[in-house]
Amino acid sequence: MLDTAIRLKRLKSLIHNTPLLAIDFLLAGARRTIYAKAEHLNMSGSIKDRIAYGIMDQAYQDGELSPAAPIIEVTSGNTGIAFAALGRNLGHPVTIFMPDWVSRERYNILKAYGADIVTFGKECSLAEVIGRAEELAEDTPGAFLPRQFASVGNIQAHYSTTGPEIWWQLKFHGLTPQAFVAGVGTGGTVMGVGAFLKEMAPAILAHPLEPKSAPLLSSGTLAGEHRIEGISDGYLPPLLNLASLDRVIGVADGDAIIMAQKLDAELGLGVGISSGANFLGAVLAQNDLGGEAVVATVFADDNKKYLSTDLLRTEQPKNEYLAPRIELLSVQALKRVCYTCCEPEECLAAAPLACTEEFPPPVCPRRK
């Protein structure tokens, strides 16, 4: 039987190296472009596949995760789904602690992956639930806690994959990013991508995003509710270092819903509510820098997790909303590039090409 760590690496091509979408739109009569990673195309449908893969890979190497050992995690949905998909594929029992107020689709997807689900209500803080998960792990022999809210592996996954992909996909087209925007759930995306991009070009801005109605990052208060599942869970994650980032951008949840509806219905992208929020946040960052600025973000997940939510209901626009003023024009999917998708080890392990001379591979015009 194959080693579990090797089996994980065989799934790598299902995760990472997503297309970068160049979305053209009109705002106030001016043509502009925002760049967004199509993270909903990952294995289980979200960006969280990256951290599940990275954390499990490192845990196997460090001996912290053994074959068939139970995995226990706290999540608002996507991270649990990612660990359930990868964990069950590799033979791990998976137990997920999840709020009872998130979309019904999230529960059903977890059930489909064979995970055990423990729900909790709004009367329980996320910190309390994390404590319950840790107690269960202590009572479960060999259990592994990914600890997405505290694990540096979360940041590392985006530093080593998402950030370089954005940088090189843009560079392939002669572009340099000037800002990156991402909603904050654990903070891993904006911290990891921001760290990489700032190393490449220190002037690049990295903006965390939050719902306007639940401004935990900008105000430090826990008050307020919102409808952008996956971000602002009423908990300031230990991973998040606001001092290393740039200004917090706030987006109204109704505005995010309308923007996600437009991306889905007008461009056929099939993304979730947080993607609408991230797109609007990127536009706001671009407003500060100028309409020609190169701003990137992520479309964190797909719309299939939100079919029972307000994403599929009519949202009444407000005068201050930005989404109704945006006219989407077109989208171009920028391909993966050699800097991040080339896997020499896989090429060496593959069988030799017997027909290379008769059927040579295409000549790359970018290489000599």
Scored b (16 or more CB within 10 A) or e, 89-110 reads: bbebbbbbbbbeebbebbbebb
Query: Across the chain, how many H-helices and E-strands are there?
Result: 13, 10
Taking each helix axis as running N to C, give the angle between helix 273-289 and helix 253-267, from 0 to 180 degrees, rounded to the nearest 10. 100
Q: How far apart are the first and last CA of the chain?
A: 42
Establish whether 48 is a catalytic residue.
Answer: yes
Q: In this structure, which amino acid lies at residue 121?
A: G
Q: In this structure, which amino acid lies at residue 336?
A: R
Residues pairing with 23 in the sheet: 34, 331
Rounded Cα distance between 147 and 59, Å, is 12
Catalytic one among 46, 151, 274, 275?
Answer: 274
CA dist list (Å): 211 to 30, 60, 185, 206, 298:
27, 36, 11, 17, 16
Longest dimension (CA), the chain: 68
Rounded Cα distance between 81 and 305, Å, is 11
CB 206 within 8 A of CB 248: no
Q: Nearest Cα to 149, choosing from 122, 90, 189, 94?
A: 189
Q: Nearest Cα to 98, choosing from 87, 109, 106?
A: 106
CA dist list (Å): 152 to 60, 159, 208, 342:
16, 10, 18, 25
Both tokens of 122, joined, read 């709004």
Name the DSSP class of 304: G
Catalytic one among 48, 198, 262, 305?
Answer: 48
Rounded Cα distance between 40 and 22, Å, is 15
Residue 38 dihedral angles phi and psi, to the nearest 5°? -85, 70
Rounded Cα distance between 227 and 213, Å, is 9
Establish whether 262 is a catalytic residue.
Answer: no
Both tokens of 201, joined, read 């070009």
Catalytic amino acids? 48, 274
